[in-house]
Structure 1
Amino acid sequence: MSSASPRKSVRKGGSKATPALTKSLPRHLVIQDNFLAPDLAESLRGTFDENFLEPRSTNIKRFVWDYWHVPSQYTLIRTSAEDYFDAAQYERLTSALTDFGQKHLGCNSITKPWLSYYVDGCEQRMHTDSWHGPFAYVLSLTNWEEREFTGGETFLMESLALDYWRNFDPKVGLEEDKLMSTVEPHFNRLTLFDPRIPHGVRAVRGTKDPRKSRLVLHGWFTDLGTPFYEAGGISEESATEVLNEALQPLYDSLANKCSRVIGVLNVRLDVDGATGRVTKLSSVADTMVADPLDLIEGNTPEEVRASVLKEIERHLKDLQFDSKGQDSSITLPFIFE
């Protein structure tokens, strides 16, 4: 469980939030608006609308939907995005998601995305699904500003609720907005979150028309653990040798000096092309929290996080790479289980 409040980071377009490593805070929820190229987002939405334009038609795409109903848990209508969109649309969609995962999360792959719509009565009640991957996403194609329904927001439990008793104050009353974060599915908004956090979708009430429904693409980022190299003058082979030399002493130090943490920390190393030296260490993705069952007496969860970050910085900040004259960056994933 996380003891610090989940951080909601809002990104516009392709901007990057990369705090200095020792200043990193756990970020369990990230929102990026205008995620897809506008023409692609409109094309995907247009395909869906066209297939439902004439309710009496026998278009084959009207028969690919699965009504998924698990009593008291899940109700929605879903299909495979790969089977629904044409090859060019699907390639652009999955490339955009995969590129984002590699650059910002340290994840090299994604699960095949679902396309789902929610009409009256559809919902997802609270659940977790971290076994699918370390990061879940929802990419909205909903015409949210013109909606004719209530509900449909993604909700996530706040850390105040997950770690309720540690900061309990009997003099303070709490309401839902202090216990749950909610995210509206605006058109072309990517909502990324830690699937260990209990989450769900508020029940949709109102429309029964698919074209006026909550419409989203969703899935998980996967294949975490392999460094990602972005441009520059460092070969993967030579960089791997340098990293391997540094990582084993780092792992030994973390095991001997620090309390246990769980989650993901992806560190970006910016490398100067002229010298091969690390010029900056920053956090790209961070869901790392202290294991409350392994706290050393007197340590707070925040102090445990700080000690882990300092050890990682100490072992990586003075690395020397064989650079060929062009600035480089390496995203290095750390998985704590």
Structure 2
Amino acid sequence: MIKRQHVVNDFFPEAEAMRTAYDGKVKNAYNQTVQWQYFCEPRMYTYLRTMPQQVMPEALWGRFTQHLKQWCIDHVGLLPTGTPNLHLMVNGCTLGLHSDFHNGTFGFVFSLTRWDTRKFSGGETLLMRDGVPSYKKHHVQGEVLYELVPAQFNQLLLFDDRIVHGTQTIEGSMDPLDGRIALVGHLRATSPVVTGPLDAAAARKTVFEFHRALAEPVKPYKDVQGVMTFRLSVDADGAVESVAVLTDNFVTAHSGYESNEDVAAVRALVLDAASKLRFAAASGPSKVTTAVLLPLPDLRPIEISIPHAGRPARLQEALKAQLKEGAALGFEVDAQSDGFAVREPLAGTIKIEPGRIVASFDPPMWVPSQRDHFQAILSENLGMLAKYAG
């Protein structure tokens, strides 16, 4: 079970091929075609970033993203949000202390850095430790306050996005071959994932009813916050045979990850309710992977309606192109006659009706800012589609 952070060594079998592709793109300054964004917020961030597809061959990048996605759903019960950024940090680059809870549940760093032969100091991911300041601690400094995680080659680091973190300032070479090179992104809950013969739509409905039923029991525990993901083994008759917890970062602001009675009570409550779920009968056993966010978020489905005055067939083609390019929202879709069925980042549909485009999605286990951002960006994109393809 993953709680606060987790390290996976030797994560991707083709990491050497990824690094070779990177080296080939940047080693000759006269032939270098990568478009880097110099991301500089004075006194906070200084680094270079780009889209990984500019560096990696399409087939190799596709295998990596599929490997990452499958590993995350299998081991964490969460999925990457869109496409990660490829970061390059050379002399003087730094990531100041910050928190990313608006971006995801867990942050991740996949390193392509030749750490053991590096020509720089710094570059470790700094994770602040839990703890309340106390006069009983005399002259507290260094790794009593934080942990430094080296960016070893082919290492995947996960950490709770609420943890204050940063990257130690790089001091050394300016050569992009000798810098800190890493893919950086975030993980977030998706709609319940079903494997097996169980009807997915019916299973999602059962899970959403479970979320709504938790509202009253968890009400006394207002200080408990975080995400628990788990995998339910469901028998053919619909009964839950077992509950396997994948991640659990329930905490209180005061206790952090230290033992806490309210956290223990909520954890027991959620697991007990999950074990008593009853799904529809199916032709055989199934697995259901899902998440619970506390405090419980808005449990209403996301509904967006955008008026248009265009031809549905033309809008369908334009929407297809837009969704294909919608990496920032992480869309995975299946075409239908009147629109698209969406699998990721949430299960739902986008349909083109006479006079309007209608988008409907499952209620997400996301904090309010994540839900608001998703709705705002999707509304903006669909609005532009309606305006220019009408």
TM-score range, shorter chain: 0.7 to 0.9
Once residues 216 and 193 of structure 1 are traced to their aligned partners in structure 2, the CA distance between those partners, rounded to angstroms, is 15
Aligned 1:87-236 pairs, distance under 5 A: 87-160=58-131, 164-165=132-133, 168=134, 170=136, 173-222=139-188, 224-229=189-194, 231-236=195-200
Once residues 282 and 315 of structure 1 are traced to their aligned partners in structure 2, the CA distance between those partners, rounded to angstroms, is 13
Aligned 1:1-337 pairs, distance under 5 A: 17=1, 27-36=3-12, 38-39=13-14, 41-55=15-29, 57-61=30-34, 64-160=35-131, 164-165=132-133, 168=134, 170=136, 173-222=139-188, 224-229=189-194, 231-255=195-219, 257-273=220-236, 276-292=238-254, 302-324=260-282, 326-337=284-295
TM-score, length-scaled by structure 1: 0.79
Please state whether the residue corresponding to 1:145 is helix, strand or coil. helix
1:112-139: CA deviation from partner (whole Å, max 9, x where unpaired): 2111111111111111122122221110
Please state whether the residue corresponding to 2:86 is helix, strand or coil. strand
Shift of 1:169: 5.7
Greater length-normalized contact order (CA 8 Å, ≥ 6 residues apart): 1
Task: Structure 2 unaligned segments of length 5 or more: list them.
Answer: 296-390
Asked if the contact 1:265/1:285 (under 8 Å) is kept, the reply is: yes
Asked if the contact 2:25/2:55 (under 8 Å) is kept, the reply is: no
Which one-letter code corresponds to 1:308 in the other structure?
V
Shift of 1:47: 1.1
Asked if the contact 2:80/2:185 (under 8 Å) is kept, the reply is: no
Asked if the contact 1:265/1:288 (under 8 Å) is kept, the reply is: yes
Which one-letter code corresponds to 1:280 in the other structure?
S
Q: Structure 1 109/69 Cα, relative in aligned 2: closer, same or farther at 3 Å?
A: closer
Aligned to 1:5: none
Once residues 222 and 50 of structure 2 are traced to their aligned partners in structure 1, the CA distance between those partners, rounded to angstroms, is 43
Which one-letter code corresponds to 2:9 in the other structure?
D
Asked if the contact 1:225/1:335 (under 8 Å) is kept, the reply is: no
TM-score, length-scaled by structure 2: 0.69
Paired residue total? 293
Shift of 1:109: 4.4
1:292-320: CA deviation from partner (whole Å, max 9, x where unpaired): 59xxxxxx971111111121122222333
Once residues 278 and 101 of structure 1 are traced to their aligned partners in structure 2, the CA distance between those partners, rounded to angstroms, is 23
